[in-house]
Amino acid sequence: MLKRTLLTVMAFALMAGGTASCWNNGTPSPTPTPTPIPGRAEEVAEAFLLAWERNDYGLMYGLLTLTSQASITQEGFAHTYQAVAAEATITSVQAQLRAALQEGDQAHVAYSVTMNTALLGSLDVENEMALRYEGNRWGIVWSPQLIFRQLTAGNLVHLTPRAPARANIYDRNGLGLAVEGKMVTVGVVPGQIKDEAALLAELSQVLGLAPEAIQAKYSGFRPDWFVPIADISVEQSQAYYATLSAIPGVAFREKTVRAYNGIAPHAVGYLGAIPAEELPDWQALGYSGDEMVGRSGLERWGEPYLAGKHGGTLSVITPEGNVVAVLKDQPAVASRSVYSTLDREFQRKVEELLGQRPGAVVVMDPRNGQVLAMASYPRFDPNVFVGGISNEKWQALLDDPGRPLLNRAIQGTYPPGSVFKIVTLAAAMEGLGLTRQFTFNCTGWWTGLGPQWGKPCWLRSGHGIIDPVSALTASCDYSFYEMGLLLDGMDPLLLPDYARAFGLGQVTGLDGFAESPGLVPDNDWKLQALGEGWAPGDSVNLSIGQGYLLVTPLQVARLMAAVANGGILYRPQLVLKVSAGPDSPELVVEPEVMGQLPISADTLAAIQEGLAGVTTSRRGTATHVFAGFPISVAGKTGTAQVAELESDQQGTEPHSWFAAYAPVEDPQVVVVAVVEHAGEGSRTAAPLVRQILAAYFGIEDTLSPLQGQGD
C-alpha cells in the first residue's frame, strides 16, 4: 500500500534545493514546522467501502466532505446508489482498497469493486476516489463517478434486457400443450381519429370495454403514437378487420404470445403478472418485473427452463440516449422445452368422458408413478391469462361457485368411502393377525357398539358367512365395522398409522404443485380440532372410509399403484424430461421410490385377490359393469357420504368412487375417478373407469347405462 506524508514530501524538496533560504537581515530563517494532519485518509476510505458493502448509505453519506454534503442531500445520495443497483440488478457488492496516496490535506485512494448482479453475472470495476481534510476531518469528495468512472454529470446507467423466447410444453409424444402463438393488439393512433364517437362505439362493441375506459387509455398520449387498447385472437381480428380498419384512428399490431389448446389446464398451468409482494424475489432472479411468469402447474414448475436465462447490456448513456460506455454485455441463455408425462390425445379423451360432471380422474403408470392423464372439472381456459387478466375476470373466476381453478385431482379432498377398505384389510391382517380363514356373519345390521348404535351394511339382507378377502370384494360394511372395532381394541392408532403408511394424510410429493395433504384423523387431531378424544365409533367409521378422513384422487391413485406393483409407493411424476440447452444436457426425470407398503406378500396377495373379485365375482360390486370387458381389471368401488353442511350446499347424493388397475396379471395402468354427488361407486365412477380403460387400451366399447348394485 502506497503512502507519502507531507513531511516526507518537504524533506525531498529540501534535499533537491540545496541550502535553505535566509532572512533579509542575514539571519538564517527558521526551519518551517508544518501543521500535522491527524488520522489517515485511507481509514475513511475503507469505512466508506465497507458501508457500501452493507448498503449503509447513511454512514457513507456521513463520510463525505462537508462541501460534498452541501451539494447533495442524504436522500438524493442514497437514491443514486439505489437507482443504479436497481437498474443494474445489483444484489451485493464486495469492495477492496488497493492503494492510497496522501499529500497534505489531499489524498487519493485506488479501489476495486465486484458487483454481483441477478442478470449480468459479476461486474469487476477498478476505480479511485479523492479525499480532502476539511472541517478537522478527512472526507470523501463525492460524485457519481465513484460508482462507475463513466458516470459523469448528467449521464445515466441504462440496462437493455434481453430475454429468450419462452420454450414450449409438450406431452410425452412431443405434441404441444403450451406453445408459441399469435394475437392481435387493437390500438388507437389519437392524431388520426376523425369521428371519436363512432370509434368508441365500435371498439366498445368488439372489445367489450366501456367507451370511457377506451378513451382513458389513449388520452394524453402523443398524436402519432400507437396506443394499445386490447388484445384479440387472430380469428377475431379477421372477423372484425373490415369493420375496424375502415375507422380512422384504429390500427392493428400482431404479437407473439403463449397459446394453449385447452388440454389439461390444471396440469399445464398458466402465465400471470408478477404480484407486487413477490417482485423483489423475481428481481433477484434477473426479472425486470413486467414479465409474464408461470403461476401454476407445469408453467410454474418449469419457469427456470421455459424462460431460459435473461441477459442484457448495461451501458452508461447521455441524457439524449447516446451510449458513452458498455459496462457489461451478457447474452441470454436459450430456454428449454418441458416434456410432460401426459398423453395429449388420451388426456383429451379422458376429459371428454368426465364431461361436465364435477370431479376428477387420475391415470397413472403403476410401474414408475408417471401420470398419463389428470382431469378436473370444472375447468378454466388458460388463454384468458395471456397478456394479463382484468381484475373483473379474475374476481369472476374466484367467485365462481364451481371453483374452476381448483385442481380437484390434487387439491380436492373427499372421504374415500369403501376404497379405504383396502387399508383396513391390510391393517387387520397385519395388526390383528386376521387370516383368510377367519369369517364374519353379516346379517345386514351391525350392533358391535351396542343396539342403540346399530349400523347397516349396504346390503340390508346381509352377506351371510363371509371371509375377509370376499368381504373386500363384496364391500361388506358389517365385516369392516368389526375389523375397525377390533383394531381400536388393539390400538386406536393402528388404523390411522396404516393409513399414513399407505400414503394418506400427506402430500404425495408431486414436484412443483400445491397439493392438499388430506386428513387422517386420530386422537391428537380430534382433541385439537374438536376438543374431545377418540372413541371406538371413530375407528368404526374410519374402517369404511367415512368420518373425518379426507383424501385426494392422486393419493388414491398412488395407493392403488402400490397395490398393483407389489408395494412400491412412487413419487407421482408429471415431467418426463427437459430438453437440452446450449451448455446443458437433456434432463431426464427418473422414477423415485418414496416408500414401501408395510405388509407381507401374503397380505398383498389377499388384497389383490379381493380387488380382482370386484369385477369378476358374483359378489363383486362392479362385476355387472365390467361384464364382457376383454381386459382383466382389479378395482374397488366407493360411495362416500358427504358432510351435512356440504349436503345442504351442493346436494344430498354421495360422491362416487372407483379405483382400478389393469391388466390384473401384468398391471400397466391405474385409473381413479371420483364424481361429486353422483351416487354409488358402481353406478357412475365404475362405468366411467371402464370407458377410460377402453380408451387407453384402444378398445371399441359401447357401455349402456347401468344401475348400481353396491358401493
The domain tally of the chain equals 3
pLDDT band per the 50, 70, 90 thresholds, residue 463: very high
Q: Which of 505, 493, 502, 494 is nearest to 533 (CA)?
A: 493
What per-residue confidence (pLDDT) applies to 154?
Answer: 86
What per-residue confidence (pLDDT) applies to 9?
Answer: 30
**Domain, as residue range, for 141:** 41-153
Residue 85, H or E segment? helix 74-87
Share of the chain above pLDDT 90, in %: 75
Average pLDDT over residues 406-418: 97
What per-residue confidence (pLDDT) applies to 383?
Answer: 86
Question: Does some domain include residue 242?
Answer: yes
What per-residue confidence (pLDDT) applies to 454?
Answer: 93
* CB-CB neighbours of 361 under 10 Å: 27
What per-residue confidence (pLDDT) applies to 703?
Answer: 65
State the virtual CA torsion across 283, 285, 287, 288 in degrees, nearest 10: 30
What per-residue confidence (pLDDT) applies to 24?
Answer: 42
pLDDT digits (tens, 9 = 90+) for 415-450: 999 999 999 999 999 999 999 999 999 999 999 999
Q: Which amino acid is at 225?
A: W
* One domain, residues 132 and 233: no
* One domain, residues 459 and 321: no
What per-residue confidence (pLDDT) applies to 2?
Answer: 33
pLDDT digits (tens, 9 = 90+) for 558-600: 999 999 999 999 999 999 999 998 888 999 999 999 999 999 9
Share of the chain above pLDDT 70, in %: 92
Average pLDDT over residues 520-532: 96
Determine the Cα–Cα distance for residues 386 and 119; give it in Å rounded to an integer: 25
Highest mean pLDDT among 21-30, 255-264, 547-556 belongs to 547-556
Q: Which of 150, 132, 231 is nearest to 185 (CA)?
A: 231
* One domain, residues 452 and 308: no
Helix (H, G, I), strand (E, B) or coil at 657: strand
Residue 706: pLDDT above 80?
A: no
Residue 645: pLDDT above 50?
A: no
Average pLDDT over residues 235-239: 85
pLDDT digits (tens, 9 = 90+) for 246-295: 999 999 988 788 889 999 999 999 998 898 899 888 888 888 888 889 99
* One domain, residues 147 and 175: no
Q: Which of 591, 413, 416 is nearest to 509 (CA)?
A: 591
Domain boundary among 308, 330, 352: 330
Average pLDDT over residues 502-531: 96
Identify whether the C-beta of residue 424 lies closer than 8 Å to the C-beta of residue 499. Answer: no
CATH number of the domain bearing residue 146: 3.10.450.100
Determine the Cα–Cα distance for residues 205 and 232; give it in Å rounded to an integer: 13
- Catalytic residue chosen out of the listed positions 288, 418, 475, 479: 418
* One domain, residues 666 and 519: yes
What per-residue confidence (pLDDT) applies to 32?
Answer: 52
* One domain, residues 122 and 231: no
Residue 16: pLDDT above 50?
A: no
What per-residue confidence (pLDDT) applies to 6?
Answer: 31
Phi-psi map region of 507: left, alpha, beta (phi>0 left; psi -120 to 50 alpha): beta
418 among known catalytic residues: yes
Average of per-residue pLDDT values in the chain? 90
Determine the Cα–Cα distance for residues 393 and 632; give it in Å rounded to an integer: 47
Question: Does some domain include residue 195?
Answer: yes
Domain boundary among 302, 330, 358: 330
* One domain, residues 121 and 174: no
Helix (H, G, I), strand (E, B) or coil at 423: helix
Phi-psi map region of 320: left, alpha, beta (phi>0 left; psi -120 to 50 alpha): alpha
**Could you tell me the maximum CA-CA distance found in the chain, to the nearest angstrom?**
140
* One domain, residues 135 and 182: no
pLDDT digits (tens, 9 = 90+) for 48-68: 999 999 999 999 999 999 999
Q: Which three cell numbers stand for residue 350?
A: 379422458
What per-residue confidence (pLDDT) applies to 711?
Answer: 75
φ and ψ at residue 194, rounded to 5 degrees: -105, -45
For the chain, the 3-state helix, strand and coil shares in percent, each to the nearest 5, are 35, 25, 40
Residue 8: pLDDT above 80?
A: no
Question: Does some domain include residue 564?
Answer: yes
Identify whether the C-beta of residue 293 lies closer than 8 Å to the C-beta of residue 283. Answer: no
Average pLDDT over residues 126-130: 97
φ and ψ at residue 145, rounded to 5 degrees: -65, -15
Identify whether the C-beta of residue 22 lies closer than 8 Å to the C-beta of residue 28. Answer: yes
pLDDT digits (tens, 9 = 90+) for 179-207: 988 878 899 999 999 999 999 999 999 98
Average pLDDT over residues 234-256: 88
What per-residue confidence (pLDDT) applies to 385?
Answer: 86
* One domain, residues 326 and 457: no
* One domain, residues 209 and 243: yes
* CB-CB neighbours of 663 under 10 Å: 15
Determine the Cα–Cα distance for residues 662 and 150; give it in Å rounded to an integer: 71
pLDDT digits (tens, 9 = 90+) for 608-635: 999 999 999 999 999 999 999 999 999 9
* One domain, residues 138 and 221: no
Average pLDDT over residues 110-126: 94
Residue 145: pLDDT above 50?
A: yes
pLDDT digits (tens, 9 = 90+) for 291-303: 889 999 999 999 9
Question: Does some domain include residue 368?
Answer: no
* One domain, residues 125 and 185: no
State the virtual CA torsion across 233, 239, 245, 246 in degrees, nearest 10: -160
φ and ψ at residue 596, rounded to 5 degrees: -135, 135
Determine the Cα–Cα distance for residues 576 and 588; give it in Å rounded to an integer: 6
Question: Does some domain include residue 405?
Answer: no
Question: Does some domain include residue 656?
Answer: yes
Domain boundary among 153, 182, 208: 153
Determine the Cα–Cα distance for residues 579 and 206; give it in Å rounded to an integer: 41
Question: Does some domain include residue 96?
Answer: yes
Question: Does some domain include residue 704?
Answer: no
Q: Which of 613, 701, 503, 677 is nearest to 689 (CA)?
A: 701
What per-residue confidence (pLDDT) applies to 26?
Answer: 47
Residue 146, H or E segment? none
CATH number of the domain bearing residue 222: 3.30.1390.30
CATH number of the domain bearing residue 629: 3.40.710.10
Residue 320: pLDDT above 70?
A: yes
